[in-house]
Structure 1
Amino acid sequence: MRYNVCVVGGTGFIGSHLVARLVTMGHVVRLPTRRAEAAKALAVLPGVELVECDVHDPRALERVIAGSDAVINLVGILHGERGTPYGRAFARAHVELPRKIAQACSDRGIARLLHMSALGADSNGPSMYQRSKGDGEVAIRETGIAATIFRPSVVFGPGDHFLNTFARLQRRLPIVPLAGAKARFQPVYVMDVAQAFANALDNDVTVGKTYELGGPDVYTLEELVRFAGAACGCGRPILPLPDSTARLQAAIFEKLPGEPILTRDNLDSMTVDNVMTGPLAPELGVVPNGLEIAVDYLNGGHWEKRMSDYRRFAGR
C-alpha cells in the first residue's frame, strides 16, 4: 500500500536513509525542515516534499502533518546542558516534541505514529539522555495514541558520527585515549533500522508495541575503535582511561566550541550495557547486517554514491 508519510527529523543521519528507503517503496514523503537548503540532497528524490516550518510550534506541526496516513518521529540529540532530571534541550527534543506530535496526530485523526526512542530509555536511568528518552515514551502513551516505538542500540552506516569519528581520530592522533573502553554495544546498521521502520509501517501487528533494534554481535567500545582503525587502514594504539580521568576528559570536551566528542552524560549512559534483551522481533522482517559492512564506507565509500543509487532504484 502507498502511504503519505510525514517524517519529522528526516534530514538527519537516520532520517536521510529512511526517507530514501520509503521513496524506493513507493511512499510519498513530506519532510518538515527549518531550512530547505539543508535537505537539498533529499529534495531530488521522487515523492519527497520539503516544507519549511518549526515543528516545535504546535500550529505549524498540525499543518505539516495534515493529510498524512502516518507520522514518523526521528528527532533526537546526544548532548545538552545539564539539569535535573535533564536539561532544557533534552526536555524539548525528547519529551515535549514527542508529546506535541502524538497530540497533533490524535487531534488530526492520524492513528499511525512511529517513534524513535533509544535502547536503555528509562525515566529512572543513569543519564539525562536515557531519562529524557524514557519520559518521551511516557508522554506519547499519555496521549492515548498506540504508537510503535523503536529502541535502537548505536546506529552505524554511511554518514554516521560513530565509527566515522573513531576513524577520523585515528587518522589524526598517534594514540587514542579512550573513555568507557569496556562499555558494551550492539551496533545496528542504519539500513536495517530504516527497513524495520518501513516494514512496520504496513504491519498492524506492530501497532502499540516497543521494539529493540540491534545487530548480530556485541562489542566493547575498545573493540569498535580498533575495528574502525583497521577498516580505514590507520589503526592506532588505544589507551583505556580510568573513570576519574575519563570524566575529566569529558568535562573538558564539554567546554570546547562546537559539538563535543564526549560528555559526562555520555559516560553516564555507558554505565549500562547498550545491548538487546533478546533477538529482533520476526514481524519486523529484518535480518541484521554485521559490522563488517562498514568497511565499505570507512575505507572510502561515499554517501553521495549511495544517494545516487537510491535515485536510480527509484527511477530518477
Structure 2
Amino acid sequence: MRIWKYAMASTILGSALVLGACGGGNATEPGEEPSGEAGQATGSVTGDGSSTVAPILEALVEEYAGVEPDVQVTVGTSGTGGGFEKFVQGETDFSNASRPIKEEEIASLEEAGIDYTEFLLAYDGLTVVVSQENDWVEDLSVEDLKKLWIEDGTTKKWSDINPEWPDEEVVFYSPGTDSGTYDYFNEVILEEEDLVSSATLSEDDNTLVQGVQGDKNAIGFFGYAYYVANKDTLKAVTIGGVEPNNETIESGEYAPLSRPLFTYAKNESMTDNEAAYNFMQYTIENAGEMADAVGYVAAPEEEYEKDMEELEALKK
C-alpha cells in the first residue's frame, strides 16, 4: 500500500488527507513505485459527472497513473446531470452520478443507441453544515430543513426555527441544478418544491464550502467527504439527532440523507477500448478502499464482486 497526500477536491484552504491507496495490487513502502505488471495498457479514457463522486475518481486516477502510465484518464465535474448530457452525446466513456439515472436520461441514451452498465462505487451521507462560528444550531429535523429550504415568499430567519436563535437572515448555499446532490435533496427533503430563491448555487462544492466557512449565518449541504476535508472550519448539523459518520451512513440510520454513488460505463467503450475497460476494472477493484480514504463509505464487498462480474460479462 502506497502512502500519498491527496488535496481533497482541490480545497483552497489546503486541507489534505493522507490516504492509503492500493497501487498495482501489491503492498509497497512509502516512496516506492507500485509493484506488479505495469504499462500493459495504452490509450485514453474520458469521464465526467458528479462533483460528489469526483474525490474518489480523482484519487483513483492519480493511483492508476502509477500502474498504467501510458493511459490518459480525464475526469470532468460538470455535475450529475451535466455528465449525463455529455454521456448521451457520446463524449465520455463513463459518467459519475450521485443519484440513480433518471427515466428521461435512460430514454435519451436509448434514442442515441448507447447501452450502459451501472456500477455502485460507495455510499455518501449528504451533510448539512454551518460555520463553526455558529454556536446555536446543533440539530435540525427534516421538517426544520423543509421550513428553511423551501421557497415560500418569506425572508428566512434563524428565529423562525427556534425563537431563542438569532433574529438574523439565513444565508443559503446549495449545489447547482445540474448536481445529483441538488436532485437528491430536492426529492427527499423538499419533495419537489422550489428551493429557496435566495440561495447561492454552484456546481463546485468548494465554492459552497468557502461560502459557509465565511459566514456564521450560512447553511449549506454537500457530500460527506467535503465536510470531512473541512471539519476544522465547518460544523455538521445532526439530522433528527443522528450524526453523519461512517457507521450511520453505512447502516442507513442517517436517514433520509444516506445515498449510493455510481458510475455508468458505456458498454461499447468497455468492449472496444482496452484502456477504458482496464481503468474501469481498476476502479471497481479499488473503489471501496478509495471511498474510505477520501471520506465516503465503502460498499459491501459482494457489491464490488457483482460489479466485476457485470464488467467481465461485457467482454464475453
| Fold equivalence (TM over 0.5) | no
Structure with more helix by fraction:
1
TM class by smaller structure:
0.3 to 0.5
Greater relative CO (CA pairs within 8 A, separation 6+):
2
User: If the length of structure 2 is used for normalisation, what is the TM-score?
Assistant: 0.33
Larger Rg: 2
User: If the length of structure 1 is used for normalisation, what is the TM-score?
Assistant: 0.33
Structure with more strand by fraction:
2
